[in-house]
A and B are shown apart, each in its own frame.
Chain A
Amino acid sequence: MSDDSVPFALPLSSCPAASSEATTLYRELRKPLLRYLICLGLSNDEAQDVVQDVFLTLQRHLASGGSQENIRGWVYRVAHNQARNRQTSYERRFAAPLEAAIDSASEEATPEHTLLEKEKFRLLEQAIRLLRDTERECLLLRAGGLRYREIGEVLGISTSTVADTVERAIKKLAEKCNV
């Protein structure tokens, strides 16, 4: 399946605007959403399932005339809640070492560089483990390009709390990773 293909039917002849809006959002958000879900601890298959569900929900939401305000935050919130419902995967993520991520780091680089990069990732992962769930989620959403306001919407916290949480988390990581 190519990244741009839309795997769900869009039987919205009565509402072509909603259909095209859902398709546009799918193309734009599918990849960052997948990355977020995988980083939350879902397997590739689970993440693909969730993304599929989320966009079907979005399609219904738009077709029924739901609000299009902060739609990116809306999409991430639905995805986040679905990931939360798969609690086992969610907890698995930072419970076991993630050698795969570390191993796949910059394999095209020189051995010395790779070693250095792996060491950085190892330190970072240790530091990420020590973060609180909210801190980790804030950073993951921030890495996906979401604004503080959107992050607050996804996690159900205020924008100022997001600012404080992101700042605290980044400081912790910077200190632990010594970068």
Chain B
Amino acid sequence: MCDLSAKLVAWLDQELPGSEANDVARHIESCAECKRKLDSYRRVSSLFKAYCESTEEAATGRKLPPWIRTLSYTAAAVAVVVAALVLVLLRLPVEPLPPQAMAPTAPSIAPASDSNRAVAAAASAPVRPSLPTKVRHLRATAPMRYPDADFLPAEPGIQVAIPAEAMFPPGAMPAGVTFTADFSVASDGSVQRLRLQPRLVELQRRSTQP
């Protein structure tokens, strides 16, 4: 047991006065036992510090708990699946529509100022002829509605219902909650305005079951 071994921690913390610090530094060079102890104290000190950081992270939630991260991965996966679904749907063969539906029946809207463009678009919506055939087909199979006044897509949208169980861990959402993914397809086939909304669709269906 070295005399200087009691000063190793203070030396590590740079708390020894100059002369003593030099003595310890010289001693460590020649004493394998003290060098080993010093390394051990250094390791346990950094482990302690890491433990404190970890405790703080756990308490302040700066590092998200695992289940939330799982949830966000699941949501991302669902978004990818929805996007893939849209692509598949858009590539389905589409029955040709009757010729009169294909023919343009209304003139394109004249350039409108910003203030009345929305009104003009709303007025012309029922007779808008220039929608791509594929989108028209989708609209026929999936009627849609937009409850929010601030969410009025330029093109008709598509809804895909996703059960809450597909996105959330069991018990995280009340029974019967379903999510609806709203999105529109632009004339070039790209998906726009993707939005998820909770719906209580399941509840009604269940209440009618025996």
Contact = CB atoms under 8 A, between A and B. Distances in A.
Contact of A148 (B13, B58, B60): B13
Interface string B36-66: 0100110111011111111111111101011
B55 to A, nearest CB: 4
A148 to B, nearest CB: 5
A166 B9 CA distance: 8
Nearest to A108: B63
A134 B60 CA distance: 25
B51 A101 contact: yes
Contacts of A177: 44, 47
24 contacts: A35-B56, A38-B55, A43-B59, A98-B58, A100-B59, A101-B58, A104-B58, A104-B63, A107-B66, A121-B51, A121-B54, A124-B44, A124-B47, A128-B48, A139-B48, A143-B48, A147-B15, A148-B13, A166-B10, A170-B9, A170-B44, A174-B41, A177-B47, A179-B44
B97 interface: no
Contacts of A148: 10, 13, 15
B149 interface: no
Interface residues of B, number: 30
Given A101-B55, A107-B66, A170-B9, A38 B60 contact: yes
A174 B47 CA distance: 10
Nearest to B53: A35
Q: Which 8 A-B pairs have the closest CB atoms?
A: A100-B58, A101-B55, A167-B9, A35-B56, A179-B43, A174-B44, A104-B58, A38-B59
B35 to A, nearest CB: 14
B166 to A, nearest CB: 25
Interface in A64-122: 98, 100-105, 107, 120-121
